[in-house]
Structure 1
Amino acid sequence: MKKIKGDTVCWGVLGVGNVCEVKSAPAMKIIPNSRLVAVMRRSEEKVKDYAQRHNVPKWFTSAEELVNDPEVNAIYIATPPNAHLELTKLAAKAGKPVYVEKPMARTYAECKEMIAICEEAGVPLYVAYYRRALPHFLKIKELMESGAIGEVRTVHINLKQVLKPDVVVHLENNWRINPEIAGGGYFFDLASHQLDLLDFFFGPIISASGIASNQAEAYAAEDIVVGSFEFKNDVLGTGNWCFTTSKSAEIDEVRIYGSKGLIRFETFGKGEFTLESDFEAPIHFQVELPKHIQQPLITEIIRDLLGTSESPSTGITAARTNWVMDRLVEGREGRF
């Protein structure tokens, strides 16, 4: 069933910042049955510059004006998380589908409100967890489902980064480490991708608990989180995230252990991973990633809106990731 009128998704973008330069919005111009017709940013100078550089016909400094433009039939919210709830309300009130950046919101409570708003308005809600549509992650899922590593037993996330020099220098301009805007620090920005990807692989995490701290005290948000979690299918997992480590300790690795082998990969690296099994030499896989990294997911969302497919990332799936992050950071155990 189609979810928009007509045969073309005509996008309006709220908040054309860095993510819209290459990762997302340009793809909306080149995917079949898709057009980028309007962009919005509060700074007239910046939004006009974006529209001119990307050949977008309309630009606005008011979210209300863009959302209510009759030519726009789908809204992409590319702002920081603190604006997601209110802008979702605005788009849903206008009866227009919503595609929102990740993390979906600052808290699970905000996510639930966004879902309820869209359900009441009868509009679909999607979230930009684009790794669900990238080819190497689809291949990993395929291999696990085919039994390449046997029965999956455990999964372990290990992400360590140095304290970025620009964090302290430009602290007031870095919304990603301002909990009032982002919900938390780099954990919310980066671990959300990892936890959502595991949800895609294994289904919902049904219990989680963790410990978070601000060890370096370079900014207000947590800078280290450790935790454990349980998936609905009895797979168990752990995560260890630190954003103030030494250069020599930097790592981005997820390991998935099965009864007959393991798969390891970087979440934020190239389109590659390694399969190791009990029966043959390790196999290294590598695929070319698209220039516009969100293009595969946006393609699926467009197909969903036109009634020919279903998007792998929705408000329902994305909210589960916020639920897990809340449990890990707040340190209290819970069951979903």
Structure 2
Amino acid sequence: MDKVRWGIIGCGDVTEVKSGPALQKAEGSELVAVMRRNGALAEDYARRHGVPKWYDDAEELISDPEVNAVYVATPPGFHHAYTLLAAKAGKPVYVEKPMARNHRECLEMIAACEAAGVPLFVAYYRRGLEKFNEIKRLLDSGVIGDVRFVHSSYLQQQRSYEVEPWRVQPELSGGGLFVDLASHTLDVLDYLLGPIGEVKGFARNQAGRGQVEDIVTTSYAFESGVMGTGVWSFSAHKHEDRNTIVGDRGAITFSTFSGDLQVEDAEGNVHSLNIPNPPHVQQPLIQTVVDELRGVGLCPSTGVSGARTNRVMDELLRDFYRM
């Protein structure tokens, strides 16, 4: 593929800064069409971002001969259907995270793309960010020795989601805020430490608001033998975003959603780093997608890796939703 000509299905908020401009600025890439069910909003997006075409029907965008790759940026409830349509049309797919509402949908998306001979990528963009690649380099260098365990703690005060209610509607999102936010952390840990194997945990609704989980606790074992624990609470007294990877000669502590990064040695000395995100946070990962499609590189976030995170979340939410 000489140049990747993207069409976006679902040009909502996530595409305004994080991804849409990145599709335009990545080398060998251009954004040629956008789609939203509300045609007026699709037209407005196209005008503001200098996109030549807009649609209010996804199938029309997918069938546009100028579009040779499709970015599905809708809520997760639509990822499965649009991925299958794009695959049937023989077009590579870059789908937002979480990859789908559940692991079964992920497997069907992978199978459809494999049958059509098209690649499938997932927008777990932290795999492309310098901060997380620096953590990976630190781990690979042995600076904290052999990794023993990791603990994740994400706390958030209760808040209203009236602007984007789909995030707490399981039929559209796959669950509550845990699915939306914890998926980033679980994917990052998969990237840094390898696939998670056995998973055990609990999900509850403690605050009594809505019908979705607002706390999830877990313990799990990576296939490598590293152990993990985590808690995600969305009705706590404060905000906290912390992951600590502990080795036999030190520890690395970092946040999932900000630039904070600390390395502690065995003597307790702490070295702090702050690695800011680029203006368009998905651009580094999108560049790897474009490079792979053009035959000059590989993307680290695929349908196979994205599905692993959905499997872990399914295990943790199984009893709550009686899956």
| TM-score class normalised by the smaller sequence | over 0.9
CA distance in 1, matches of 2:289, 2:121: 8
2:248 is aligned with 1:253 = no
Runs of 4 or more off by more than 3 Å in structure 1? none
Aligned match for 1:44, one of 24, 39, 46 = 39
Instruction: State the shift of 1:287 in Å.
Output: 1.9
In angstroms, what is the RMSD of aligned CA positions? Answer: 1.2
CA distance in 2, matches of 1:19, 1:193: 15
Q: Give the 3-state SS of the residue equivalent to 2:156 in structure 1.
A: strand
Q: Give the 3-state SS of the residue equivalent to 1:156 in structure 2.
A: strand
Aligned match for 1:203, one of 194, 199, 202 = 194
Q: Give the 3-state SS of the residue equivalent to 2:244 in structure 1.
A: strand
CA distance in 2, matches of 1:191, 1:180: 18
Match of 1:219 in 2: 210
The TM-score normalised by the length of structure 2 is 0.97
Q: Percent identity?
A: 52
Aligned pairs (5 A) from 1:160-171: 160-164=155-159, 166-167=160-161, 170=162
Instruction: State the shift of 1:44 in Å.
Output: 1.2
Match of 1:238 in 2: 229
Instruction: State the shift of 1:279 in Å.
Output: 4.9
CA distance in 2, matches of 1:307, 1:232: 31
Say how many residue pairs are matched.
320
2:165 is aligned with 1:174 = yes
Instruction: State the shift of 1:331 in Å.
Output: 4.7
Match of 1:143 in 2: 138
Instruction: State the shift of 1:281 in Å.
Output: 2.4
Q: Structure 2 stretches of 5 or more lacking a match?
A: none
Match of 2:149 in 1: 154
Aligned pairs (5 A) from 1:44-63: 44-63=39-58
Instruction: State the shift of 1:272 in Å.
Output: 3.0
Aligned match for 2:122, one of 111, 127, 136 = 127
User: Given that residues 211 and 330 in structure 1 are in contact (C-alpha distance below 8 angstroms), is that contact kept between their aligned partners in structure 2?
Assistant: no
2:301 is aligned with 1:313 = yes
Aligned match for 1:286, one of 240, 252, 274 = 274
Match of 2:90 in 1: 95
The TM-score normalised by the length of structure 1 is 0.93
Match of 1:106 in 2: 101
Post-superposition Cα deviations, 1:169-220, rounded to whole Å, max 9, x if no partner, equal x28x510111111000000000000000000011110110110001112121
Post-superposition Cα deviations, 1:59-101, rounded to whole Å, max 9, x if no partner, equal 0001011000000000000000010110011100110000000
CA distance in 1, matches of 2:257, 2:210: 23
Post-superposition Cα deviations, 1:79-125, rounded to whole Å, max 9, x if no partner, equal 00010110011100110000000000000000000000000000000
2:312 is aligned with 1:324 = yes
2:296 is aligned with 1:300 = no
